Amino acid sequence: MAGTERTNGAEYGGDDFPGRESVQPDLRPRPDKLEYDVAAASRAVFTLHAKAPPDAFTAQHLGVKREGNAVLIDQDGLCLTIGYLITEATTVSLVDHAGAAKSAEVVGYDQATGYGLVRLTEPFDARPIPLGSARDVGTGAELTVLAGGGLSYGQTVRLLSKREFAGYWEYLVDEALFTAPPHPHWSGAALLTPAGKLIGIGSLYVQDVLPAETSPAGNMFVPIDMLGAIIQDMAATGHAKREPRPWLGMFVTEADGALVIAGMVETGPAARSNLKIGDAIVGVAGEDVSDLPEFYRALWARGPAGATVRLNILRDNRLRDISVRTGDRQSYLKHTPGSR
């Protein structure tokens, strides 16, 4: 999983959440250039504060205190956010544009897509933002990013690329959205079209918005197109209705054209196997893999969580086959929606 410096957009110290800097005025959206009431839309984006217990499985990588944003998507108070903010969170609150804290509850999150859902549990003064489709927006489009705190936290951005994204924490998005310039509070922020429709939810700060040697920094947004197929199950049960993917619990990086194991989750499947940090992964069950997307797809094709996977490893210039019994990442979490 990504560390807090790469995901949350804030560094934490002391007992309280830090203040948030607003977007510089020349980057803010101009209401006269948009087809919708951007001030009204900004009221539908809340600042999210979440806390996970110190003994949470994800506390080491994601921190105990997390701050981001959540986007109101229905009249009953359901809000979309990015899942890492609320994974194992036992308390969550949403702050509206006027600075009033609203009680809320964690509804669910989905490891495969990265979506998280929370629900306001007291009255609010905002209209939901309608959902659109990232497929309808081409690269080069001028878009708006809205974060909690009101219109002074809005920013005009450009969609510079739409492409596959693979995260070293066993995560893959087929067509992520990459925008620039970067927003100072991207986690869970809303990405809106000129017509005011939500097409993405903020996930990461990245330095490779363009797939080129020289690229501006910016943000990666998860498109909301996958939400429709799972939102009812997530809202009802806290998770999507699908078989869990096989999980290794290790961090793999692409280095000098090779896939190298850079770390392992303590007590995870990889850590309990004969794999070692520094091993180069060259194949899965005899199928060659040369990058993270190929590796993940080959891994996930081996069956659901619990399947034994044979990894082809290069170590000390010798090829080895090492079998790993995969796990269900969800089962390692100590605190999940509905648990106490």
Q: Which tokens hold the place of 323?
A: 């079998």
Q: How far apart are the first and last CA of the chain?
A: 23
| Domain membership of residue 184 as a residue range | 1-242
Confidence of residue 249 (pLDDT cuts 50, 70, 90): very high
pLDDT by residue (tens digit) across 60-110? 889 999 999 999 999 999 999 999 999 999 999 999 999 999 999 999 999
pLDDT by residue (tens digit) across 273-291? 999 999 999 999 999 999 9
Same-domain pairing of 231 and 269? no
Kindly report the pTM of this predicted structure. Answer: 0.92
Last residue of a domain, one of 202, 218, 242: 242
Mean pLDDT, all residues of the chain: 92
Nearest Cα to Cα of residue 67 among 105, 88, 94, 42: 94
Nearest Cα to Cα of residue 284 among 304, 254, 260, 311: 311
Same-domain pairing of 32 and 110? yes
pLDDT of 334 above 90: no
Grouping H, G, I as helix, E, B as strand and the rest as coil, residue 339 is: coil
Average pLDDT over residues 204-233: 95
Asked whether residue 339 is assigned to any structural domain, the reply reads no
Confidence of residue 256 (pLDDT cuts 50, 70, 90): confident
pLDDT by residue (tens digit) across 148-160? 999 999 999 999 9
Whether residue 185 contacts residue 68, with contact meaning beta carbons closer than 8 Å, is answered with yes
Average pLDDT over residues 6-22: 50
pLDDT of 14 above 50: no
Average pLDDT over residues 108-115: 96
pLDDT by residue (tens digit) across 259-273? 999 999 999 999 999
Of 108 and 339, the structure prediction assigns the larger pLDDT to 108
62: Cβ contacts below 8 Å, ≥ 6 apart: 1, 2, 3, 4, 7, 8, 52, 84, 87
What CATH number does residue 316 fall under?
2.30.42.10
Amino acid letter, 81: T
The vertex-167 CA angle with 165 and 172, nearest 5°, equals 55
Asked whether residue 126 is assigned to any structural domain, the reply reads yes
Asked whether residue 19 is assigned to any structural domain, the reply reads yes
Last residue of a domain, one of 242, 266, 291: 242
